[in-house]
Structure 1
Amino acid sequence: MGSSFLQANSLALWLFSLFALFTFTEGEKLLVIPQDGSHWLSMRAVVQKLSEKGHEIVVVAPEVNLLLKGEKYYKRKTYPVSYTQADLDIGFQKFSRNLFKKVSFPFTIFQEYWNNMYIINLFFENCESLLKNREIIKYLEEAHFDALFTDPALPCGVILAEYLFIPSVYFFRGFPCSLEHAICKSPNPVSYIPRCYTVHTDRMSFVQRAINLFANSFETTLFKTLYNKYQDIASEFLQRDVHLPTLYRNGSIWLLRYDFVFEYPRPIMPNMVFIGGINCEEAKSLTPVCPLIITMKSDISKIDL
């Protein structure tokens, strides 16, 4: 199990590096629009790897953030936002506490909704500040980036890729309720694939399938509720009516940070790639002392038996 995760980790970095080598043959410019928090930890490893390949990388981040600090392997462009560091810290603390509360279905749906809304509203202010910052937008226009690398959990990077008319690579764990499959029109049969919060397996009774159907209808409503504001600001920024799922479908490659170890197997689109192993740190060799301790504990347990 461990070796397969490590192989997947290496494969994910190799895959994206290979894509970069063939797409940016002379070490071209890559624009990165990340999401703050734990989302950035996995993306940062890929950004570092691409920098080592000779690509010029610019990360655009808000001045108020948790983990989006400057690093030597990329250039960071910042912009002011309307909220404070205290607002951000409080929001993430509430989000973390609520995330581990155990409640039964269907109350999990409402908990998920309220848990996400505060953070999403905060990050909407972040996105709005970026798109209305003429200095940053002018810089992005004149920089002539070759591609955009973004975490599309929230669509600010997706909107910018459309505006700059450059190919985009998505890198994320997925939308609430695995809505990436619905957005990309992947086959997603309700009778077989359990919907979020139901805790069903792929073998469901008639009643469970009825509940699954109800949860499925809720997923579309959830997406519209969570992302409706972004559709409005996208239309304003792009100066035309836009359909947010259509913007998402313009992504060139979807790098999904999960795999079928924890998810149900399902058909996917050709531009969707599972890279679940990238979440795992590379294992280090045990020191000479560790095997000795393990052996001693094993011997003691045998004596106890």
Structure 2
Amino acid sequence: MAPGLSASPSVMVMLLSLLDLAAAGKLLVVPVDGSHWLSMREVVDMLQQKGHEVVVVAPEVSLHIKPSKNFVMKMYSVPYTKEEMEKDFKLFLHTSFEEGSFIERFLKVYEVMKKLGNMSAVSCDHLLQNKELIRYLEESNFDAVFTDPVVPCGVILAEHLSLPSVYFLRGIPCGLDFEATQCPNPPSYVPRAFSQLTDRMTFLQRVKNLLFDTQNLFLCDFAFDPFSKLASEFLQREVTVLDLLRKGSVWLFRLDFVLDYPRPLMPNIIPIGGVNCAHKELPQVDNILFLICAVMDFFIQEG
């Protein structure tokens, strides 16, 4: 089990020591809208304050991604309106907190996520087909890509630009994060989504937890097949999202073992619990932000 942040002060000191050694570089940020961006934005602002040049690529229609003096904003057009986007997000939030049986909740969430997934795929397609913007990215000599891989458009760009990538995420549907990082994922220990189980289960609960894995067969198909097709067409070779995710250099997981059940982690996974949507006035959060910036400094310098 990877130790939490408070259990590894030596790692913190080592990473923070890189702050003074790293030279300012150029960072490409490909965010995901909503709470994903609200969590990432403070890190992006901090990187700019440390002297890095930050370029954020985002669609013209978004809920929270707005231009800022702290970064260069490159926008591209999409064929949907903000009203349509808000409607689908509100439906998703309402459906996620509805009560009912697993089957009822799963089918409702499936339909809403399918709509949001299609919207994300359409947005990514318009980005990859924007030849002027892609040419700008190719000529900009970035040092690294900072992205949330739950929508793997930034992952595709990192492969196209041959850049190291740092992932900033809460998790990926259907357990693709476990598979991409080769993390142990035993159903006797790691509770599945929607199962309402804990990390301590009876035999029958373990059987139930195993059965919940069947949902992944459906989730992965509709969530990531469109991106695999986009990536194969854009990169001009057959590739899957899983293939691309495996190339991530560092995974910054917004896990907090006060709220999340412990899970086995690999060495390139760093838990950064506390960085969620807004800055909290807690010393540990400041330490986590410095840790994230130290990691980003390292990869910008090495890139």
TM superposition score category, shorter chain reference: 0.7 to 0.9
Matched, 1:231 2:228: yes
The superposition leaves residues 113-136 of structure 1 with CA deviations (integer Å, 9 ceiling, x where unpaired) of 122111111111110000000000
1:282 maps to 280
Q: Which amino acid aligns with 1:183?
A: A
Instruction: Give the superposition deviation at 1:194.
Output: 1.7
The superposition leaves residues 6-65 of structure 1 with CA deviations (integer Å, 9 ceiling, x where unpaired) of x89xxx99998776765xx33110000001111111100000000011000000111111
Matched, 1:254 2:273: no
Q: Which residue among 129, 134, 150 is the counterpart of 2:131?
A: 134
**Distance 1:92-1:15 versus aligned 2 partners, 3 A rule:** farther
The superposition leaves residues 132-170 of structure 1 with CA deviations (integer Å, 9 ceiling, x where unpaired) of 000000000000100000011110000000000000000
Matched, 1:94 2:91: yes
Instruction: Give the superposition deviation at 1:179.
Output: 3.3
* Number of equivalenced pairs: 276
**Distance 1:14-1:282 versus aligned 2 partners, 3 A rule:** farther
Matched, 1:153 2:150: yes
Q: Which has the bigger relative contact order, CA under 8 A and spacing at least 6?
A: 2
Alpha-carbon distance in 1 for matches of 2:101, 2:15: 39
User: With structure 2 as the length reference, what TM-score do the two structures score?
Assistant: 0.84
1:198 maps to 195
Deviates more, 1:71-80 or 1:173-182: 173-182
Secondary structure in 2 matching 1:149? strand
**Distance 1:227-1:219 versus aligned 2 partners, 3 A rule:** same
Instruction: Give the superposition deviation at 1:99.
Output: 2.0
Tell whether the 8 Å contact from 1:177 to 1:195 is kept in structure 2 after alignment: no
Alpha-carbon distance in 2 for matches of 1:190, 1:21: 43
1:267 maps to 264
Secondary structure in 2 matching 1:260? coil
2:49 maps to 52
**Distance 1:124-1:109 versus aligned 2 partners, 3 A rule:** same
Report the RMSD for the aligned CA atoms in angstroms: 2.6
Tell whether the 8 Å contact from 2:96 to 2:105 is kept in structure 1 after alignment: no
Secondary structure in 1 matching 2:33? coil
**Distance 1:55-1:271 versus aligned 2 partners, 3 A rule:** same
Tell whether the 8 Å contact from 2:92 to 2:109 is kept in structure 1 after alignment: no
Q: Which amino acid aligns with 1:78?
A: M
Alpha-carbon distance in 1 for matches of 2:218, 2:17: 38
Larger Rg: 1
Matched, 1:165 2:146: no
- Segments of 5+ residues of structure 2 without an aligned counterpart are 283-303
Q: Which amino acid aligns with 2:208?
A: I
Secondary structure in 2 matching 1:61? strand
The superposition leaves residues 192-211 of structure 1 with CA deviations (integer Å, 9 ceiling, x where unpaired) of 22211111223323332222
**Distance 1:212-1:123 versus aligned 2 partners, 3 A rule:** same
Matched, 1:69 2:69: no
Secondary structure in 1 matching 2:264? coil
User: With structure 1 as the length reference, what TM-score do the two structures score?
Assistant: 0.83
Tell whether the 8 Å contact from 1:13 to 1:49 is kept in structure 2 after alignment: no
Tell whether the 8 Å contact from 1:20 to 1:50 is kept in structure 2 after alignment: no
Tell whether the 8 Å contact from 2:174 to 2:215 is kept in structure 1 after alignment: no
Superposition pairs of residues 15-26 of structure 1, within 5 angstroms: 25-26=22-23
Tell whether the 8 Å contact from 1:32 to 1:57 is kept in structure 2 after alignment: yes
Secondary structure in 2 matching 1:268? coil
Tell whether the 8 Å contact from 1:127 to 1:156 is kept in structure 2 after alignment: yes
Tell whether the 8 Å contact from 1:187 to 1:267 is kept in structure 2 after alignment: yes
**Distance 1:195-1:224 versus aligned 2 partners, 3 A rule:** same
Deviates more, 1:91-100 or 1:224-233: 91-100
